[in-house]
Structure 1
């Protein structure tokens, strides 16, 4: 397979005022596109070390004790930050900083069963202007046109996903080495971190060429851990804490995903860049609390969609510079929400209005 054929209808041309506004924005941030490798390494290794240390503490501390709860929460927040570096890997590309990609998969992606290839290649399609918000975008669903119960049900799926990825790593992946049709199905239907269950993954130039060893390593991590527990070397509590850890990460990221965009479009046509920006959301929020639920720059998601090549550590600077420096910042601030609750409230309000109209 190849990248999906682009829709017949091309994006509507931006009007002159939009083009001028976007050009001014690019000029203001043109010096913010250099990634600092040392910061990436320090941030990732610190988050990962804290996360796994807290995980071990949660395993060995008395069950249901306050200290175990604190350790578990710290593990979720720290390793959530580590996992989200997969977003940066997708934008760096599979051949940039191979050592960092290797370290991420060895220390985080493999043990968490969220290998980098499950995002690299898929996420890039989300940023194609011709594909964003269409049926070929696996990271988009028209939540604003769905009923609140459907939105909640989609978010709650995070509770069962850890069970599936464990079965995938320990059973389906090794079977796929022997059964080619299963390998094809796994690639197309069960190898992508997406939100659209109908998405069928293509092959693209952004795919990580090391995906086979990533699957093998995830199998090794999961199988070794289960064997150590089966033989009594590790307590079975390791599996329980890991399950709670991954569930917590998925539910937290699920909330972030629900307000990353407005999700107003049914996918019938491509959008202009300005439409894509106004369908995305920045949540500057509290500088200490907001990064806990939207780490690694993802609270500036609309700004990221304007400049997908900008490293995460410069997105906050870009947001503040554009807010103050644009000759007319009104168009830019239309995509801002004050906090997480404000974004969720807007989504649910839009959803309820839609449900009310459908019932008339």
Structure 2
């Protein structure tokens, strides 16, 4: 979906004025910057193709490096090697697997025919071994990009974190450490039990089958070809979980413990990235696309760390909300073209930030102000 798709509809701001209602408060009341939306589409039409020569090596190398470092960490720990070496290898494995895992985001946006075999291979090498198959994001993340759902109670990926209590931030962040254990419990126990206990199957699907942060979100039952894909991915994840647990029970639990630690670290890093993906200032109102953009965050170069903690194009998260189907490898060029065309004083520039820590500090200050 390109930015011009939004221009064919009356925006939220126009609808409020037509009905004689006042604008919603904050960013929800932002009118559309149609010049920015049109420029985003017109200036980037030639770089919208997903390039397999970039996707495949990037994903495969990230996975191989991640698993290789994890294997070395396990081998070093079993042989009684240095704890610092194990830690360094574990951190490297977490960073590499984090990058490989984030291709799940690309799978939700690229056309199903754009990269033949990519979804299958990603699930085989990354999604199922980490117990996070692509169905857990596909069909969910698209709701976050809906013009009428973003920032509302129907958005699975939105919470008004900036308006919540200060203690909510560490709780939100640290719960990510429980993710690998939760995924193991889900695939090894809850999904198989759900086959013979239909109410449990319904509960697991609605509440524990999507990578969402909104506790009010309930996932709808899958249908058609998507339901068949879910079945095979669930079967693969369950068989893998049983294999891992069976092997660990007979050969020792240390490898699994190290693997859980590595995935937990990757999940923690992703949760920190999520904290600064948006400003989280909307209280449930529908927003214009421009409002969504301004509630989102770009952390462009010259900073180099953004490509590590927000890889696979996610350092351009605000730009991604303007051009959701733009492949990750084109977002840097999109950013350069739009900044040059629109200028430093434009609406586009207002979503660009210098780095992770200033954004975290802003979020903390917002929650401190929300205590009253």
Asked if TM exceeds 0.5, the reply is yes
Q: 1:277 aligns with which of 283, 290, 293?
A: 293
Q: How does 1:100-115 map to 2 (within 5 A)?
A: 100-115=118-133
Distance 1:204 1:183, change over 3 A: closer
Contact 2:273 2:310 in 1 (8 A): yes
Structure 2 segments unaligned to the other structure (5+ residues): 1-9, 16-29
Distance 2:293 2:263 in 1: 30
Contact 2:303 2:354 in 1 (8 A): no
Contact 2:31 2:288 in 1 (8 A): no
| Pair 1:27 & 2:42 matched | yes
Q: 2:203 aligns with which of 172, 179, 185?
A: 185
Structure 1 segments unaligned to the other structure (5+ residues): 1-8
Q: Which one is further off, 170-179 or 205-214?
A: 205-214
Name the residue aligned to 1:256: 273
Q: 1:141 aligns with which of 142, 146, 159?
A: 159
CA deviations on 1:122-158 (whole Å, 9 max, x unpaired) are: 0000001110000000100000101221111011101
Contact 1:276 1:305 in 2 (8 A): yes
Name the residue aligned to 1:13: 14
Distance 1:143 1:16 in 2: 23
Distance 1:265 1:158, change over 3 A: same
Distance 2:233 2:282 in 1: 35
| Pair 1:163 & 2:181 matched | yes
Contact 2:160 2:281 in 1 (8 A): yes
Deviation of 1:224 (Å): 0.5
Deviation of 1:99 (Å): 1.2
- Could you say what the CA RMSD is over the residues aligned between the two structures, in angstroms? 2.1
Deviation of 1:12 (Å): 2.5
Give the secondary structure class of the aligned counterpart of 2:196: coil
Distance 1:63 1:351 in 2: 44
* Structure 1 stretches of 4+ moved >6 Å: 14-17
Q: 2:54 aligns with which of 33, 39, 42?
A: 39
Contact 2:303 2:355 in 1 (8 A): no
Count of aligned pairs: 345
Q: Which one is further off, 207-216 or 303-312?
A: 207-216
CA deviations on 1:238-282 (whole Å, 9 max, x unpaired) are: 111111011101110001000000110111x21101001000000
Distance 2:230 2:290 in 1: 34
CA deviations on 1:292-313 (whole Å, 9 max, x unpaired) are: 1101000000000000010000
